[in-house]
Structures are given as structure tokens and as C-alpha cells.
Structure 1
């Protein structure tokens, strides 16, 4: 894992915090005060992905950015599995440890199903949902078909299936420190102007050895083997969440998660949700178009802010 004090030449200047509640040393950023923005990263990134959002929103919100087990500054234990359900368990432990409420979920990539797993278990703690190229499926009708159809088209998921079948998946992702840029480009990273030595170092730093790459390997292998379990909410939880404000921001040049398959899942879960597609923006839309994403999120938060006695779209708290 990355050293606690590492700032990558001042590009990630946020104080480190740690919780042992999930059963390992889990790192999180915790900046600002007020309504909570809980930012959840995916594969193969970490909290560094949200550095611009932390700077933008910590003056007005409490921005909490965990690193999932095996990523960023969090520990990579050898005796744990790294399936979706494990990450949901870990996140739930952290949120209960910090007693976070009035949460706006801000989710990218596999942070989507992790965050939605938390929402399924604790709908009363969730005030808003923001998907930024982050799938928002529960265990719901259409999910299996969407995953299969997307997997047939996506270069990343095709590679996962082929590499797992040939026995090379662990070897390639075990060297992620050295092929981090090619992995990001494969997934759909478009903004070449942002690439620098520091940027590449920051994204490769969590994976110095095969043993430290268990998180990235586990997420990919879980799809190849069907080990990931998507959380299924109760009917009451599903109904409650369907009424909260929701926003999807989707980079249209995403080569990993095709909007044609995943935005219908978003609108199924959030019938009144707002959908904005960004032409020419890739999978890592927060890197490709940080100003646009920041402005869209700011406008959404302003439009859905209510009095302290109300939550989300204005329904009284229960």
C-alpha cells in the first residue's frame, strides 16, 4: 500500500485517516464538514481519482473518500477474498464506524455496485446517488443480460475472460505498476494532456508487487469466474431509494462500460433520475472532464438541497 504521508508532489495533499473496523487497515480521506459526499473508486484506481472533487467540495461538504481493500493507501491482506460482496462488507463497516448519514453516493466504475450494496442495506442513510460511469445495479432483472452483452463488446472484459482462460490474468495484473497506463487507456482514458510522470506514479503506486495487486486481480477474476454477488435489496429498500434524487454522468467514449447497457439499469432503479452523457469523454470521466463533472455535480447538489427536516427529494425522514 502507499505510505500514509505520500502526497505525490502535492497533488494529493489530504490528511490520511484509517479505520480497523473492516478487519484490516482501511484508508480514507475525510475533508470538510456538512452533508456527506462519499466517493467510491473502482478498478484500477484509488482515492486519487477524486482529488479534484475533494478540493471543489470540501469547503461546503464533508467529503469522505475510502480506498477499497487492496487499493491506494489501504492494506492488502493475504488472507481475504476480494469479491464484490467483500468490498460491500468493508464499506458497511467503515460507514457504521464513522456513523455517516445524509450520504450522497458518488460512484465510479465498480464503486457503483459497492455503493449500491451499501444503499440496499442502509437506505435510510442515503440522501442522493451520483453515478459517474459507475453502474448502479442491484440484483435486478436485466442485470445478467447487461453484463453479458457488455462483456462481449468491451475490450477490458474480453481480455479478462481470455486471460483467465489462458491462465495469464494474475501474471499481467500482478505487474500493474508497470502497465498502469496501458490498462487505463484500454478502459477508455481520453485526456492525454493530463498525463505526467507524477500522474502515472500515483496510479501505479498501489501495485508494486504481485502480492500488493490482489485487489486489482480479485476484481477482474471475480467477473471471469462469476464470484461477485450483487446485493439484492428488499422491496421496501428498493422503493425508498427509487424516490431519492439521482444523477448519472456518463462519458460517451467509455470502452469498458457501454451506456446502452448500464444507463437503463440506472433509470430502472431511479425513474426520476437525471442522465447526462458527455460526448468524447471516456471511462475515467472525472479525469477527462473534471470541470464539467464538477459543475454538473455542483448544480445537482444545489438543486436537491432541502431543509434539515427533509431528505433528498423532500420526503420527510422516517
Structure 2
């Protein structure tokens, strides 16, 4: 776990907040007016709320921006006795949203923040106002979901490595040292903005993973795919209809080597056929790192227009 007051040379200057509602100490950023519309930013693997540090300041002038760290990531705890499957992360997020009584939510989702956020949307569609997918899949009961996941896994270096490492027994030993190989992991997934790499940046992304016991979140997400342990939430008909009526936006870095646009953007368009889709050339999987100003501008504009 990263120290609560860590700012990484001032690059993450937000006050820490913690909730025990999910059954562990879950960290979250909570910036902006408490009575403002909520923007809920959900990170993926192996990042944390630091990913959204460029988005928070502008939006929090008018909106309540909440950025949780999933269990096993960032400033949140990594309990040894818990499971780290998709459905468990959805449970944790649901507990936090209920504890904070968040409504009128704009979901901003990256990487596995997509399935976690869509799981929340399936359970509480009435709390959601908008959906923003930024290199974040939007599984929502589509009949071709697993075919698309399988097809993507055939061409994704990250998912190819997961399958081989699980079969050889290397997955847990390698990801258990994520604090040392964080940069190579990010690069494998599709990180293009080398100018962002500083000592503070490397420390921010590697600090949580100091010991193998701290890496259970990262291991769990990868292992869940390799073993089929993740369970995707299927909405009931009422939730499906309600979410399909929401304003939505997709932003996708086309240099993403982990989640290929041709496999995952159709999942988004199947739910939101008239929603705008922006594809950014030269931008990788970690689009909030590769094009932070562009992404922030597009999300802010989308929220203002809707």
C-alpha cells in the first residue's frame, strides 16, 4: 500500500480519503463540490488513481470527482484473505458508492475499470447519468463478448503472456515482483509517451508493489483471465434499457496493444449505436498518460454538451 500522504513530488496533490465499507481500507480521491454532479473515474491494471491526475483539477472546479483505488492497488489495502476477481471488485465499488451515496454519476472507465464500471451500471442503472469508455471495455450482456475476448487474446502480447505464464507457473512469481518490472509491463500493454517517465512517475506506479504480498491485485486480475474465474455482470432487461438510454462517449488510443479497437469498440457501439467514438492515432493503451490534455478536453466537452 502506498502511504496515504504520498504526493510523488507534488504530482498527486489530492487529499486522501478512506472507506471501510467494502471490508478493507479503500482509498479514494474526492475533489470538488459535494453537491456537484459526480464523475467516478475507474482505473485498471496495474495502475491506480494516479492515472487520472490530469483530469481531476479541471473537472473538480464544477463537479465532484471521485477516484477510488481498487483493492490491491494504489493507496488501498491488499488484504491477504480476499479474492481479486472481477465480481469482487464490483462488490467493493458498489459498497463505496452506497456508502458515499453517489448518484448522477458519469462513469469514466479505463482498462478493467470498464467491466467493473459496467458491473456497477448493471446493478444500479438509476445512479448512472453518462458513460465514458477510454480504452476500457464495456461488457453488458452482449452475446459475442467471449468470442471478442478470445479473438483479442490471440493478438494481444499481454494476454498471450498471461496464458503462457499461467501454464508454466511463472505468472505469480513475475507479477509478484511488479515493483521492479512495472515499466516493462506498462510498455508491453501499450504506453507510448516516454516523455512522461520521471523518477516520481516510476515511483508512483511501482510503489504499491513493494513485496509479493502487495501484488495480489495485479496477480488476481491476470490470473482470473487465465483461469476463467472472472464473472461478467449481466444486466436485467430493465437495467439494459435504462443504460442504453444514457449519453455515452468512447475514446480509444489506436496504439493499444492489449485491448484492440477492432475487438472492443463494437461492444460499446452495440449498446450505444449513436454515441460518438473518437479514435486517437499514436495513443496507446494508457491513453490518460499518452494524451492527457486531449483526453481531458474531450471528456470535459462531452460532459458540458450533455
TM-score normalised over the length of structure 1:
0.95
**2:284 paired with 1:270:** no
How far off is 1:140 after superposition?
A: 2.1
Partner Cα distance (1:142, 1:303) in 2: 32
Aligned to 2:115: 113
| SS across alignment from 2:28 | strand
Aligned to 1:307: none
**2:31 paired with 1:31:** yes
How far off is 1:139 after superposition?
A: 3.1
Q: Give CA deviations for 1:38-60 in whole Å, capped at 9, x if unaligned.
A: 00000000000000111121111
Aligned to 1:186: 188
| 2:252 aligns with one of 250, 253, 256 | 250
Partner Cα distance (1:283, 1:185) in 2: 9
**2:276 paired with 1:298:** no
Partner Cα distance (1:6, 1:291) in 2: 24
Partner Cα distance (1:273, 1:231) in 2: 22
Partner Cα distance (1:138, 1:209) in 2: 35
Partner Cα distance (1:193, 1:43) in 2: 21
CA contact (8 A) 1:251 1:280 kept: yes
- Flag structure 2 segments of 5+ consecutive residues without an equivalent: none
Q: Which structure 2 residues correspond to residues 167-178 of structure 1 after superposition, within 5 A?
A: 167-178=169-180
Q: What is the aligned residue count?
A: 304
TM-score normalised over the length of structure 2:
0.99
Q: Give CA deviations for 1:21-66 in whole Å, capped at 9, x if unaligned.
A: 0000000000002110000000000000000111121111100000
Q: Which moved more, 1:135-144 or 1:201-210?
A: 135-144
| SS across alignment from 1:10 | coil
| 1:95 aligns with one of 94, 97, 103 | 97
Q: Which structure 2 residues correspond to residues 131-150 of structure 1 after superposition, within 5 A?
A: 131-150=133-152
Aligned to 1:314: none
How far off is 1:298 after superposition?
A: 1.3
| SS across alignment from 1:30 | strand
Partner Cα distance (1:171, 1:149) in 2: 27
Q: Structure 1 segments of 4 or more deviating over 3 A?
A: none
Aligned to 1:3: 3
